[in-house]
Amino acid sequence: MINYEEIAKWSDIISAILFLAVLVYLWFKFIQPAVLAAQEKSNELIKLAERHRDEAKAAIDALNRELEGAQRDAGLIRERATGQAQREAEATVAEAKVAGERALQNARGELDRARAAARKQLRDELAGQALDLARSQAQHRVDGALNLKLVQSFMASLEHGSTN
């Protein structure tokens, strides 16, 4: 006699085994390759992100080195500019001192020339005033006889070749 209970039990076992076998087949045929592909894609994305991170770190390090170099160059430029400014200031002061001394010498020369010109002008004015005074007094002191005597004396001195 056929035991239907046994057939049902074995039918459940065989269907469970077949179901599991189909699941295993589907897993290896479709799901596992998709999971592996997704895992590989994720790994590639992680590698790409790590590579970008490493490149960014390298770029930051290079930029930091360039910044340090630029700061060092700026310090050297600042030192050179300070030194150059100091040298130019000293040269300007020296030039101004030389120009001032030259101007002082020129002023002293001008002062001497002005003194000489003032002395000459004073002498000329005094001589003119003395001459004017002598002319005005000579008209009162010298009469016609004295004038004739002076002219004759002068003429005689000219004839002898000497003027006294």
For 79-116, the pLDDT digits (tens) are: 999 999 999 999 999 999 999 999 999 999 899 899 99
34 and 55 together in one domain: no
Q: Does 125 reside within a domain?
A: no
Domain extent, residue 5, equals 1-38
21 and 2 together in one domain: yes
How far apart (Å, rounded) are the C-alpha atoms in residues 140 and 134?
10
Residue 163: the pLDDT is 47
How far apart (Å, rounded) are the C-alpha atoms in residues 107 and 146?
53
Residue 161: the pLDDT is 67
Q: Domain count for the chain, please give it.
A: 2
56 and 34 together in one domain: no
The tokens for 164 are 């006294």
90 and 53 together in one domain: yes
Residue 141: pLDDT band (50, 70, 90) is: confident
53 and 104 together in one domain: yes
Q: Does 158 reside within a domain?
A: no
* pTM tops 0.85, yes or no: no
12 and 62 together in one domain: no
Q: Does 23 reside within a domain?
A: yes
For 26-76, the pLDDT digits (tens) are: 999 999 999 999 999 999 999 999 999 999 999 999 999 999 999 999 999
pLDDT at 162 over 60: no
Distances (CA, A) of 54 to 16, 51, 58: 52, 5, 6
Element counts in the chain: helices (H) and strands (E): 3, 0
